[in-house]
Amino acid sequence: MAQLIEHPCVQHKLAIIRDEETGHKRFRELATEITQFICYEALKNLPTIEVKVTTPVAEATCRKIDTKLVVVPILRAGVGMLDGILELVPTARVGFVGLYRDEETKKPVTYYERLPPQVRGGTCIVIDPMLATGGSTSAALDILKNNGASDIVVVCIVTCPEGVEFVETRHPDVKIYAAAIDDRLNEKKYIVPGLGDAGDRLYGTSH
């Protein structure tokens, strides 16, 4: 099962980002803030290495992250979470996977793929606000694994049981972190109650 981030600050922000009255500017801000909280938890087990640092007073034994981080937003909505994680780990590399859902088959179609070589041997963080059917997320994970990735986590804002089960069945080695696991998918494959269309709400393209 996906790991739910139940911190009161996350849940407070989630209530605001869900609200249909929240405009695209505030929606983007909240997506960034919620992403930071979720990634703080998702990255807590990153490997570290002991280093010596000389402070103005004395030598200190410290720890630094010992892996190459690659953030992979699923276009287009995933880009709305990118700033949140890069504020935490500004040296992370960024790859992109472009997927859209065929409206008839409801299956993901890849239209863009650009990944840095550090996916092989590094730690990959796949980001997308909504993990709905799980098809796009699973397809992105297939692409990463085909490019040599073996250490991957998924960070989303909202998901649902159907999406979690779909991804876990196909990629049981990948952990999912979310601010909410909602009730279900509706007949149009939207999460209920969800956020609506996250891409439209992020970029102000809804009618």
Task: State yes or no: is 200 an active-site residue.
Answer: yes
* Mean pLDDT (whole number) for 17-42: 95
pLDDT of 68 higher than 90: yes
pLDDT at 106: 67
Domain borders along the chain are 3-203
Which candidate in 26, 32, 142, 200 is catalytic? 200
Model confidence at 207: pLDDT above 60: no
Residues 134 and 165: their CA atoms lie apart, in Å, by: 8
User: With 90 as the cut, is the pLDDT of residue 204 above it?
Assistant: no
Band of pLDDT at residue 186, cut at 50, 70 and 90: very high
How would you label 75-100 residue by residue, b for 16+ Cβ within 10 Å and e otherwise? bbbbbbbbebbbeebeebbbbbbbbe
For residue 205, the model assigns a pLDDT of 83
Hey, is 204 helix, strand or coil? coil
Task: Look at the domain 3-203 and name its fold.
Answer: Rossmann fold (3.40.50)
- Residue 193: asked if its preceding bond is cis (omega within 30°), the reply is yes
Taking all residues of the chain, what is their mean pLDDT, rounded to a whole number?
93
Q: How confident is the model at residue 99 (pLDDT cuts 50, 70, 90)?
A: confident
**pLDDT score of 4 more than 60:** yes
Q: Look at residue 176 in the predicted model and tell me its pLDDT.
A: 98
Catalytic, out of 26, 93, 101, 170:
101
Query: Sign of the CA dihedral 113, 92, 132, 168?
Result: positive
Task: Using alpha carbons, select from 4, 146, 150, 123 the residue that is nearest to residue 65.
Answer: 123
Q: For position 95, what pLDDT does the model report?
A: 97
- Number of neighbours of residue 117 by Cβ within 10 angstroms: 13
DSSP state of 2: P
Stretch 121-129: mean pLDDT: 96
Residue 193 has a CB neighbour count (10 Å cut-off) of 13
Mean pLDDT of 163-167: 96
183 catalytic? Reply is no
Residue 149 burial (CB count, 10 A): 23
105 annotated active-site: yes
How high is the pLDDT of residue 114? 96
